[in-house]
Chain A
């Protein structure tokens, strides 16, 4: 069984470009979460999606950031007009049910570097 697959593993973008991060959840999981991690800040929740719906985007900046989880295909985290402060590791996790007692399965992350 494949776990959560994220690609690319590393992404380098110049300031002002767009970054698209992809996440394929565990087969059968319909709940996807995106987190951002900086060494000094730990894991920060960004957005929680269920198929075709954004459930909670309270951790995602209102500008430049968007996320989707279409009926078919992977979840996408999109960052427009990237700035140096967007450099971080972005992790996707999926779960079978949305309850907080349910284990989260994490991918190995996309490391975004903005030059």
Chain B
């Protein structure tokens, strides 16, 4: 069974700080998606990474896919209160299903 583990589960930081959250597995994924979910809303896609070692930037967010395509990280620079939310990663598994992590709940305090 393919699993995705996200860490940390909870993170509370001050505005302006940097942070990194992780999405790890022992399995290889053909691609990996990152979503952000705000309270009371559905997840919204941030990025899809496909190639091992790939780095994608979205303003202050930097996403990296591991060389072996088993893990990924999301780094946020100078966090803002608007970054608050649940960050979910989802990997494309063997049977072409998306495997979801449990998420990292981020709170950015003013």
Residue numbers of A with Cβ under 8 A of B are 4, 41-45, 56, 91, 93, 98-101, 103-109
Interface residues of B (CB under 8 A from A): 30-31, 33, 35, 40-45, 48, 50, 88, 90, 92-93, 96-98, 100-103
CA distance A22 to B68 in the complex (A): 40
Whether A100 lies near B101 (C-beta < 8 A) is no
* In contact, A106 and B101 (Cβ under 8 angstroms): no
Which residues of chain B come closer than 8 Å to A42, judged between CB atoms?
A: 88, 100-103
Per the bound structure, the CA–CA distance linking A44 and B97 in Å amounts to 12
Whether B97 contacts A43 by the Cβ 8 Å rule is no
Whole-angstrom CA separation of A58 from B42 in the bound complex:
22
Shortest C-beta distance, B13 to chain A (Å), equals 21
Given contacts A100-B92, A101-B50, contact A106 B100 (CB under 8 A): no
A100 to B76, CA, bound (A): 25
Chain B residues with Cβ below 8 Å from A106 are 35, 42-44
A and B contact pairs by CB, cutoff 8 A, 22 listed: A41-B102, A42-B88, A43-B100, A45-B98, A45-B100, A56-B97, A93-B42, A98-B96, A99-B96, A100-B93, A100-B97, A101-B30, A101-B31, A101-B48, A103-B48, A104-B45, A105-B45, A106-B43, A106-B44, A107-B42, A108-B41, A109-B40
State the Cβ distance, A59 to closest chain B Cβ, in Å: 9
CA distance A104 to B92 in the complex (A): 12
